[in-house]
Amino acid sequence: MADVRDREAVDGALRGVDAVCHQAAMVGLGKDFADAPQYVGCNDLGTAVLLAAAASAGVRNLVLAGSMVVYGEGRYDCRRHGAVRPGPRAEADLAAGRFEPLCPSCGTELTPGLVGEDAPVDPRNVYATTKLAQEHLASSWARATGGRALSLRYHNVYGPGMPRDTPYAGVASFFRSSLARGESPRVFEDGAQRRDFVHVRDVAAANAVALEAVAGYEPGRFAAYNTGSGEPHTIGEMAAALASAHGGPAPEVTGEYRLGDVRHVTADSRRLREELGWMPAVGFAEGMAEFAAAPLRETSSVVTA
C-alpha cells in the first residue's frame, strides 16, 4: 500500500505490468470548499503521476474509475420544450423545501430520465470536477503515448468493505454507519432524489471486462461507459431497505440539503452491456440485505493504488 502521488512507489508498482486499473481517489462531496486542494492533489495530481509513470514504463492500457457525477444533473424532459438541462438549484429554493429543478424556459415541472454518455458534462462540485479532469488526463495520455484508455462512470457503488464514519464516503456508507450505531439514517431533502445503486461485485466484474476490451482498442483511443444497475431507486427507498434489513431504526427524513448535490442522476448503461457484454448480477433487494449485515472498514487518510 502506498500513496499514488509517490512517483517512486508508483514506478515500483508498474514493473512488469501490462495494464492499470486506476481506482485511487478521494471520494464523496467532502465538507466544504476548503477540501478543494486535497481533492485536486489526490485525484488529479495522483492521476498525473500515475500516467507519467505508465508512459515511462511502457504501460499502454488503462481502465479508470470514473463517475456519473461528471454529468451534474441527469436528463430531464419538459412537456413543452423537450429535453432540457436545468442549472444549479438556488439555495433559497432548497431552504424553502423546493427541491425539484424546473424547466429553465417555462418554469414548469420536469420529468427525470436517463442520461447517456454523449450528454454534455457539467460537474457541480469539486469532487465532480476532479473526476472529469481525470478523464481529460487519461484521454491526453492515450493520444500522447499511443495508449488506450477506458473510463467506467460508476453510479452509487455500495457493498461490503465500505468505509465507516467518514464525511467523504457515499450515502450508503453514511446510512450503514448510522444503523451500526443504533441511529436512524438521516435522509436529506425529501428522500425522493433518484440514483442508481450498483453493487461492488458488479463494478468489479465491469472492470474485468473493461481490461479485456481496452487491450483491443486502437492506439490513442479513449472511451467512457456508464456503469449502473439499470434499476433506479430513490435515496429514501435505499435508506428504508437498509434499515428494514438491519432491523431498524427507521430512516428520518430531515429536509436538510447540501449545495453542490444534484437532484436526480440516473444514466443509461446500455452501451456497456451491448459493447462489452457486461450484465449486473446483484439486485437491489438482495444487495441491500447483504450490505445491511456486512462489516464496514476503518478509514484511512492515505490515497492508495
Largest CA distance in the chain: 58
Distance CA 3, CA 10 (A): 8
Q: What's the pLDDT at 304? A: 36
The arithmetic mean of pLDDT across residues 70-95, rounded, is: 95
Mean pLDDT, all residues of the chain: 94
Q: What's the pLDDT at 119? A: 93
CB 112 within 8 A of CB 264: yes
- CA 18, 305, 33, 157 dihedral sign is positive
pTM over 0.85: yes
Q: What's the pLDDT at 168? A: 74
Q: Is the predicted pLDDT of residue 301 greater than 60, yes or no?
A: no
pLDDT band at 299 (very low <50, low <70, confident <90, very high): low
In angstroms, how far is the first alpha carbon of the chain from the final one? 7
Distance CA 154, CA 36 (A): 21
Rounded to 10 degrees, the C-alpha dihedral 288/293/297/299 comes to 60
CB 65 within 8 A of CB 225: no
The arithmetic mean of pLDDT across residues 73-89, rounded, is: 94
Name the percent of the chain lying above pLDDT 90: 89
Least confident residue range of 113-117, 169-173, 267-271: 169-173
* 224 closest CA partner among 162, 163, 267, 262: 267
Report the DSSP pairing between strands 111-115 and 75-78: antiparallel
Distance CA 174, CA 153 (A): 21
Q: Among all chains, which residue has been given the C-alpha cell 484508455?
A: 149
The arithmetic mean of pLDDT across residues 147-159, rounded, is: 97
CB 44 within 8 A of CB 130: yes
Q: How far is CA 155 from CA 31, 38, 172, 268, in A?
A: 21, 23, 12, 11
Q: How do residues 207-252 score in pLDDT, each as one tens digit?
A: 999 999 999 999 999 999 999 999 999 999 999 999 999 999 999 9
Q: Is the predicted pLDDT of residue 38 greater than 70, yes or no?
A: yes
